[in-house]
Amino acid sequence: MIFLDIYSEKDMENLGLTQAGLAVPGTVIFLSGELGAGKTTLVRGFLKGLGYKGPVTSPTYTLVESYTLNQISVIHFDLYRLKNLEELEMIGVRDIISTDIICFIEWPDRGIGLLPMPNYHIDIQYQGEWRKVEIS
Ligand SMILES: Nc1ncnc2c1ncn2[C@@H]1O[C@H](COP(=O)(O)OP(=O)(O)OP(=O)(O)O)[C@@H](O)[C@H]1O
Ligand SMILES: [Mg+2]
């Protein structure tokens, strides 16, 4: 278990950026924390670390967004608005999450039952102006 105090959006992005060098295809990462905690910011940094230059926003309505950079595919789920597990099944979650991709899942508790066990769980908690990040 690793605990980090993150004091700015930039630092959260940098945390994701440094993780980009470590992740291997097949890695599943759960991201938990309240609305606006910084989950998407971390994914944005991760993609930046892989060389992605475009915008990264939460796929709130589409539930899933994918990126391919330097032969590495990254899938970013945001299950906040998931209505039920059937909807997740329709998206084809079992086929999407494979050994070939790196997968980030925001609000994973909404998909329990269909999601695989994560390799990492990153929990972000508000602590006044800053954030406490717990990586397990
Ligand atoms: N220390 C910090 N780390 C990360 N974000 C911060 C920090 N301090 C302030 N912020 C702000 O908090 C917001 C985090 O938004 P972000 O979209 O990353 O959250 P989220 O956890 O993905 O939320 P949601 O569940 O709504 O998708 C940004 O507006 C960012 O500027
Ligand atoms: Mg988000």
Ranges of residues in the chain with a pLDDT under 70 are none
Instruction: Assess contact for 63 and 81: CB atoms under 8 A.
Output: yes
Ligand 1 atom with minimal separation from the 38 CA: 18
Cα–Cα distance, 121 to 68 (Å, whole number): 22
CB of 57 sitting under 6 A from ligand 1:
no
In this predicted structure, what is the pLDDT of residue 94?
85
**Mutation pick for ligand 1 pocket among 9, 30, 44, 133 (CB with most ligand atoms within 8 Å):** 9
Ligand 1 atom with minimal separation from the 58 CA: 27
CB of 122 sitting under 6 A from ligand 1:
no
Ligand 1 atom with minimal separation from the 80 CA: 25
Dihedral, 46, 19, 72, 83 alpha carbons, nearest 10: -60
* Average pLDDT of the residues of the chain: 95
CB of 79 sitting under 6 A from ligand 1:
no
In this predicted structure, what is the pLDDT of residue 22?
87
In this predicted structure, what is the pLDDT of residue 91?
92
In this predicted structure, what is the pLDDT of residue 99?
86
CB of 35 sitting under 6 A from ligand 1:
yes
In this predicted structure, what is the pLDDT of residue 74?
96
Dihedral, 121, 126, 129, 132 alpha carbons, nearest 10: -40
In this predicted structure, what is the pLDDT of residue 47?
97
